[in-house]
Amino acid sequence: MSEQSPTKSSTKDEVLLWIKRYQETQDEEAQTNLVLNYERLVQSLARKYSKGKPYHEDLVQVGMLGLLGAIRRYDASYGRSFEAFAVPTIIGEIKRFMRDKTWAIHVPRRIKELGPKIKATVETLTVDLQRSPLIHEIAEYLDVDEEAVLEAMEIGRSYQALSMDHALDADSEGGTVTLFDLVGTPDDGYETTDQRLLVADALVVLTDRERQIIQYTYMDQMSQKEAGELLGISQMHVSRLQRKAIRKLQEKISETPGGVSG
C-alpha cells in the first residue's frame, strides 16, 4: 500500500522508519518522503548562505546532496536525532560549494593577509615541535593577539584549506566536523567515530553556554559572530568562552582511558 507523501512535518517515528527502509532496500518512496519532509529545512539553510544571491538554487541542490548523504549514513544507535546529524552535513556541503565555487562573502584584508601566514606558521611549528601547535604558540610566533589568530582561522575555514592536522568538513559521504583544536597528536586515520563519542562524553564538564558555543561554532559551523548574535554576546566573548571550553574538554579527555593527549 502506497504511503501518503508528507504535506506537513512528520513524526520522529515516521522519519526513522523511512530512513530504515531506504538504507535497507533503497526504497524510492521512503527517500521521496524524506526529501519532501526536509525540503524546507534545506531551503532555509541555503537561504542563510545565499542571502539573495543568484546561486541560491545551486545551494539548494548542493544541500539536497548533503541531505541524501545524511540519510545514507545516519545511525540512530548513537542517540542523536536525525536533524542534529543532518544539519551539519547539509551546511558542510553548502560551505564546501561556496569555498570552491564562489567568493561572494567579503573577507577583510587583514584576514586575507594573516590566513596564509598562519598556514605557513602551522607547518613550520609542526615540524619544530613534532605536534600540532597551540593557538598561543601560533600567536607568539606571528607576534599577534590570540583573538586575531582565532578569527582568521574561523573565517579562513570557509575560504581556503587552513588545515590544522587533518580538519574535515561534513560531507555527503559521511565525514564529520572535527573539533580540530582537541587533537594535538597525529590522526591515525580511521578513528573519527571513536573520537566523536569521546568528545560527546566529555561535554558534561561544560556549562550550558559553553556547550551552546561548541555546538554552534563546530557542529553547526557558524562563525563566532553568528554564534554571538544568537546568544546575545560579543564575538570576543564567544572567542574567550570557546577557548575556555576547549581547554576543559582537553583536560577531561586527557583524563579518560584511551583519550586524546594534548
Which domains, and CATH codes, for the chain? 12-103 (1.10.1740.10), 109-164 (1.10.10.10), 190-255 (1.10.10.10)
End-to-end, the C-alpha distance of the chain in Å comes to 56
pLDDT for the residue numbered 196: 53
Q: What does 127-143 look like in DSSP terms, one character per residue?
A: HHHTSPPPHHHHHHHHT
Q: How far is CA 57 from CA 45, 50, 52, 230, in A?
A: 12, 9, 10, 26
Per-residue pLDDT of the chain (262 residues; tens, 9 = 90+): 444 444 445 688 899 999 999 999 999 999 999 999 999 999 999 888 887 777 788 889 999 999 999 999 998 888 888 988 899 989 988 888 876 565 445 556 666 678 788 888 888 888 888 888 888 899 899 988 888 888 777 665 544 443 444 444 444 444 444 444 444 444 444 445 445 555 565 677 788 888 888 888 877 778 888 888 888 888 888 888 888 888 887 777 666 554 444 4
pLDDT for the residue numbered 131: 83
Task: Give 42's Cβ-side CA count (13 Å radius).
Answer: 26
pLDDT for the residue numbered 169: 46
pLDDT for the residue numbered 162: 38
Distance CA(59)–CA(130), nearest Å, equals: 40
97: which 3 cell numbers? Answer: 560549494
Distance CA(223)–CA(236), nearest Å, equals: 12
| Eight-state DSSP code of residue 11 | P
Q: Exposed, middle or buried, 42 (CB in 10 Å: 0-12/13-18/19+)?
A: buried
